[in-house]
Amino acid sequence: MKWANHQLTTLAGAYAVSGNLPFSLAVSAFSHLPDMVEFGPGKLIFRKHRGASHNVFLWIAVMILSLPFSQLQLIQQTAAALGHYGFQPWWVIAPGLGALFHLAEDAMSVGGITIWRGRKFAGKLYRTGTASEFAVTLGFVALMAPVAYLHHIF
C-alpha cells in the first residue's frame, strides 16, 4: 500500500476505534514505521521488505514495552499541559499501534505479510499501486465514516 493510503486508512480506523482525533492523527503519523525502519542503517537488520520489520509480534512488544514510558515525568507533564487537547500518557503506544495498522493494511494485499515461521496471511484485496488499492482505501474510509460520525454525535 502506498504511504498516503496507509495514512488515510489508519486515520479512519484509529478514529473509528478511539473517537479521539489528535490521538488518531498521531497513530496515523506512525503508520509508516515498519517501512521506515528498513531504510538507512535499518537495512543492515531488516534485509527484505515485509520481513522482520513487518512482524506483528515485534510491534506488539513495542507497544507493551512503551507503556512504562507513560509514567516518565516528561510524559506526565506533557499530559498535564496538553490534556485539554486530549493528550493522555498512554499515547506512548501510538508508534506501535500505527505499525500494527500498517501490518493489517499490508496483510490485505496480494503479497500479504508473514505471520509465523514462513506462514503468510494475504487477504488478496488489492495489488499495491493499482486502482484496486485506491478502491480498498476508499471503501475502508467509507465504512469507517458512519462510526466516526457516531463518535462526533455522542
Q: Can you read off the three cell numbers belonging to residue 113?
A: 505479510
Count: domains in the chain: 1
Q: What is the pLDDT of residues 39-98, one digit of tens each?
A: 766 666 666 677 778 889 999 999 999 999 999 999 999 999 988 877 899 999 999 999
Rounded Cα gap, residues 113 and 57, in angstroms: 12
Would the pLDDT of 153 be above 80? no
Please give the pLDDT value at position 44: 64
- Looking at the DSSP bridge assignments, the partners of residue 114 are 120
- Looking at the DSSP bridge assignments, the partners of residue 119 are 116
Q: What is the pLDDT of residues 124-141, one digit of tens each?
A: 999 999 999 999 999 999
Q: Is 42 helix (H, G, I), strand (E, B) or coil?
A: helix
Q: Label the pairing between strands 119-121 and 113-116.
A: antiparallel
The residue range of the domain holding 64 is 3-153
Q: What is the pLDDT of residues 11-53, one digit of tens each?
A: 999 999 999 999 999 999 999 999 888 776 666 666 667 777 8
Helix residue spans in the chain (DSSP H): 3-18, 21-29, 33-36, 56-66, 73-82, 94-107, 131-153
Stretch (H or E) spanning 113: strand 113-116
**CA neighbor of 146 nearest in space, from 30, 9, 16:** 16
Would the pLDDT of 118 be above 90? no
Please give the pLDDT value at position 2: 93
What integer best gives the mean pLDDT of the chain? Answer: 90
Please give the pLDDT value at position 36: 87
Please give the pLDDT value at position 33: 92
Please give the pLDDT value at position 26: 95
Please give the pLDDT value at position 76: 92
Where do we find the cell 480506523?
Answer: 13
- Please compute Rg for the chain using Cα positions: 16
- Looking at the DSSP bridge assignments, the partners of residue 121 are 113
Amino acid at 134: F
Would the pLDDT of 115 be above 70? yes
| Residues with Cβ within 8 Å of residue 107, at least 6 apart in sequence | 113, 121, 122, 123
Please give the pLDDT value at position 117: 83
